[in-house]
Amino acid sequence: MTALIDMASWVLLAGGAVFSVIGGIGILRMPDFYTRMHAASITDTAGMALMLAGLMLQAGLTLVTAKLVFIMVFLIITSPTATHALARAALHDGVRPQLDHDRRRHTEIEP
Amino acid sequence: MRYLLGLIVGLAALWLLLSGHYSPLFYAFGTGSCLLTAWICWRMRIVDNETVPLHLLAHAPVYIAWLGWEIAKSNGDVARRILSPGRSISPTMTTRRVGPATDLGRTIYANSVTLTPGTVTVGLRDGLAEVHALTDANARDIEEGDMDRRVQAFERRGGVRDDHSHDGG
């Protein structure tokens, strides 16, 4: 049973690592600031969640797991807030997105 | 009053799980810091249905499960696009009139959009959300508004409360 949980934990940790690396590759490959943010959000969500889930399996039903759950909850709330602030600041500062389609109904947020 | 009570209970639970030291001295410290925090929040007049969304608590698991599944799907999609050779993206910006009626509901919607890989809310003003999407299909998903309807349903089940009634003084 312990070995089984250990194995599941390794799979999750490895999966988290893979998604984090994919996010990193995406940040390098994407053409502009805004598309890079989408790549970074892979590290933020899949990478983070799988890693923390793997660590929770290592910790078992202890207070450490409760703390890991808190870390996950706080990251889920703060990371999109930070991403939004970053994107808005970039747009406000005149970083123009390279777009294939622009279906905005108004452009008041753009400078 | 129930929001203030909810805040204190929440703070106490957070403290108990984070501390791990269970002796009278530490209980006293915990009680003191929870009450101090609750008092500061009450004094700042921020103890209301936005900061302590008790009404949404019971319905949160359903929404979180749905959102988790959506995030998993878009993670797979964006990861594939990152790894596939050549250009497989079509960056698109679009606007959508958001459905949720309350500020809290709109924030949940905008944050959910941003949390999902492939879409980022870059602006939210006058009930219009401006979204940058990695692909045309991602943008169409936003325009079709499945997530929007989910947040509306979540908000409705909790009972829409737009009043900013504050506890006490």
Extents of the domains making up chain A = 2-92
pLDDT confidence band for A28 (50 / 70 / 90): very high
Cβ-Cβ pairs closer than 8 A, A with B, add up to: 130
Q: What is the pLDDT of residue A107?
A: 52
Instruction: Tell me if B168 is assigned to some domain.
Output: no
d(CA A52, CA A54): 5
Alpha carbon of A86: minimum distance to chain B alpha carbons (Å)? 9
Asked if pLDDT for residue B169 goes beyond 60, the answer is: no
In terms of residue numbers, what domain contains B8?
2-43
Using alpha carbons, select from A96, A99, A9, A37 the residue that is nearest to residue B115.
Answer: A37
pTM over 0.90: no
Domain count for chain B: 2
Instruction: Tell me if B164 is assigned to some domain.
Output: no
Instruction: Give the residue, B129 or B1, on which the prediction is more confident.
Output: B129
Asked if pLDDT for residue A110 goes beyond 70, the answer is: no
- Phi and psi at A62, nearest 5°, equal -125, 180
Asked if pLDDT for residue B167 goes beyond 50, the answer is: no
Inter-axis angle of helices A2-29 and B60-83, to 10 degrees?
60
| Domain identity same for B24 and B61 | no
Instruction: Give the pLDDT mean for B135-147.
Output: 91
Mean pLDDT value across chain B:
88
Q: What is the pLDDT of residue B160?
A: 63
Q: What is the pLDDT of residue B52?
A: 86
Instruction: Give the torsion sign (CA, B41, B44, B46, B47).
Output: positive
Q: What is the pLDDT of residue B57?
A: 86
Measured between CA atoms, the residue of chain A closest to residue B81 is A26
d(CA B137, CA B132): 12
Which of B82, B95, B107, B151 would best serve as a mutation to test chain A binding (most A beta carbons within 10 A)? Answer: B82
| Domain identity same for B91 and B140 | yes
Residues above pLDDT 70, as percent of chain B? 94
- Residues on chain B touching A72 (C-beta within 8 angstroms): none
Q: What is the pLDDT of residue B166?
A: 44
Asked if pLDDT for residue B93 goes beyond 60, the answer is: yes
- Residues on chain B touching A68 (C-beta within 8 angstroms): none
